[in-house]
Chains A and B, each alone.
Chain A
Amino acid sequence: MTTRSGRLIQLLVLVALVALWQLLVSAGAFNAIAVASPASVARQLGSLLGGATIWLDMLHTLRGLAVGYLAGVVVGTIIGTLMGISAIARAYFSPFVAFLNAVPRLALIPLLIAWLGFGQGQQIMLVFLVVVFMVLLTVQASVQNIPKRFVDNAIMIGASRLQLVREVYLPAIGIWVISSARVAIGVGLQVALVAEFFGGHQGLGYMIEEGESTYNTNLIYAAVVVTAVLAVVIDSLLGLVNRRAARWLP
């Protein structure tokens, strides 16, 4: 837990590091092309934020993330629930899940590009493939781990099948979908970026690639800063959602 003074020290350390960075670059300690100074990055950021491109790029990345992510959460929840409830579903899907989950999905990028071309399609598919397994495995485990006495008790006090699903299964699963969703979106953002980097025409990831191919390191760092800020914002928003549920979470 960070106290007030702890936070202050954090800030001071951050400022000190940035200052050190600026000093070293100005003194010529690094290859100036490869390591941009904080000042020039800030300038680049300023000019970017004033224009339209960076916002369009951000939107592009977010859109790809959103589509792949939502599809992943929905499909992951459905198949995860099926696998949790039905032994047959579990037997059928397990080999595919185990195999695909063992393969680092980013390694599939060349395959996805070959299949869906360069553009947002492969990005969405990649995000989907990463998110879906995270959610699926969590949901499956949560269904299988619902304490038996909750189900037994609900039946004893008169729950019909439908009521059992609505009052016991759905809330039990819902908790885990929310918590896995929070972790998944951070990963999803990174994956969306990498997909754009390797095979996109737009977006923050593509901006990094552009910076690298034109040796414009300011652009690279600016894009990284924007990504980090985006990640923090998204995570805080999800944190708010989490807090509402925190009251009754054991």
Chain B
Amino acid sequence: MRPSVKAAVALADVATVAGVIALWQSDSAATASYLSKPSAVFAAIKVWLTNSTLLGYIPVTLWEAAAGMLIALAAATVIASLLAASSRAASIFEPFMALGNAAPRIALAPLFLLIFGTDLKSKVIFVATSVVFIPFFSIFRALTTVDQDLLNNARCLGAGRFAIVREVYIPAVTSSVVASLRVTVAFSLLTAILAEYLASQEGIGYEIQQAQNNLQANYAIAGVVIIALIAVIIDMALRLIERRALVWRDPS
């Protein structure tokens, strides 16, 4: 595309965003209602980033998400490996995983937290149990659809059991994890926030809920904006990692 066209489109993008914000700012009905104004939201964001308590919530949420996700990845690998090893076991238990996946896990958070308590540890476990399904299906599919030619070739070259696991299966697992990483990370972050929203003493989700209770819409929206920014930054970083790690992949 010619650079002039590229510039025009970029301008249109900026104009669209500016237009939406301007519309929102000028909408007097919104100010009266819960939506607040961009200027108030902006002020709230500034407070978020300078107040030490509020700023401290961010690592808490990130920690819950990260820890829960790592446990989920480990569990998913174990379960997927066990099921992939035996097609009998797989055909019996895989539908249960699908059933678990279909259940509205987030809505069951209060129940979960009631049973297991509302401290940090239980939130991490909640994140882990909610997230586990995503990498599970990805890893399971990767393990069960390993190219037969690859396996036969490895055996012909004299690879023993261990070597095959190392050279064929482990790369399959790691690449499937990387491929589903963006979804897994996003879901971990989301689950952590929503769990905090429902029952917590700290974290971004907790603060959003507090703000809503105190009818401080601008702080609630500021919280959402901060989450959005964190999510986008993480997503961009993951895209780079994905591209690097999966550089060998056939684009199909």
Q: List chain A positions with a Cβ less than 8 A from chain B.
A: 1-3, 6, 9-10, 13, 30-31, 33-35, 87-88, 91-92, 95-96, 99, 102-104, 106-108, 110-111, 113-115, 117, 186, 190, 193-194, 197-198, 205, 208-209, 212, 217, 220, 224, 227-228, 231-232
Contact = CB atoms under 8 A, between A and B. Distances in A.
B95 A10 contact: yes
Contacts of B202: none
A38 B34 CA distance: 42
Contacts of A193: 104, 107
A220 B111 contact: yes
Given A95-B13, A114-B221, A228-B102, A208 B228 contact: no
Contacts of B220: 110-111, 114
B92 A10 contact: yes
Contacts of B99: 228
A227 B104 CA distance: 8
28 contacts: A2-B91, A2-B92, A10-B92, A34-B114, A34-B115, A88-B5, A91-B1, A91-B6, A92-B9, A95-B13, A102-B186, A102-B236, A103-B231, A104-B231, A106-B106, A106-B194, A107-B228, A113-B212, A114-B36, A114-B220, A114-B221, A117-B33, A194-B107, A208-B107, A208-B108, A212-B114, A227-B104, A228-B103
Contacts of B236: 102
Given A10-B92, A103-B232, A212 B6 contact: no
B187 interface: yes
Classify the secondary structure of B's interface with A: helix
Classify the secondary structure of A's interface with B: helix
A35 to B, nearest CB: 7
Contacts, number: 128
A248 B104 CA distance: 35
B92 to A, nearest CB: 5
Please tell me the size bucket of the interface on B. Answer: 35 or more
Interface string B101-126: 01110111011001100000000000
